[in-house]
Amino acid sequence: QQQVKQSPQSLIVQKGGISIINCAYENTAFDYFPWYQQFPGKGPALLIAIRPDVSEKKEGRFTISFNKSAKQFSLHIMDSQPGDSATYFCAASMNSGYSTLTFGKGTMLLVSP
């Protein structure tokens, strides 16, 4: 019930296209859903996050869509660029002092020029 399932494992998108990464969760107590971006040899960095009181959050070319009833959320990268090539992790956590982030297994995105 603590798992966050992420798909696809890898994704190749042409420059200018839309990249879509999906995540699903089981624990309805989760109330914070961040996405992290990791470049090779670097630590993951927070990209964008959403709480379940909204269905969508947009920051520049990055959008999170959240479907509370389906217990799913997704990351959309519009106008994908080669510089977006990285590994993306979704995650979820509960509002608890002892709660830790549960991460998906990651998606390797390659944006071809």
Tell me which residue has tokens 């977006």.
84
17 vs 110 by CB, closer to other proteins: 110
Residue 55 Cβ vs other proteins, minimum distance, rounded to whole Å? 20
Residue 56 Cβ vs other proteins, minimum distance, rounded to whole Å? 19
Residue 8 Cβ vs other proteins, minimum distance, rounded to whole Å? 13
Give the Å distances, CA to CA, from 77 to 7, 8, 69, 93, 101. 15, 14, 23, 23, 23
Token pair in block for residue 10: 């890898």
14 vs 100 by CB, closer to other proteins: 100
10 vs 55 by CB, closer to other proteins: 10
User: Which residue from 89, 91, 82, 85 is spatially nearest to 107, judged by alpha carbons?
Assistant: 89
Applying CB under 8 A, which residues contact other proteins? 32, 34, 36, 40-46, 49, 87, 89, 93-101, 103, 105-106, 108
Residue 21 Cβ vs other proteins, minimum distance, rounded to whole Å? 14
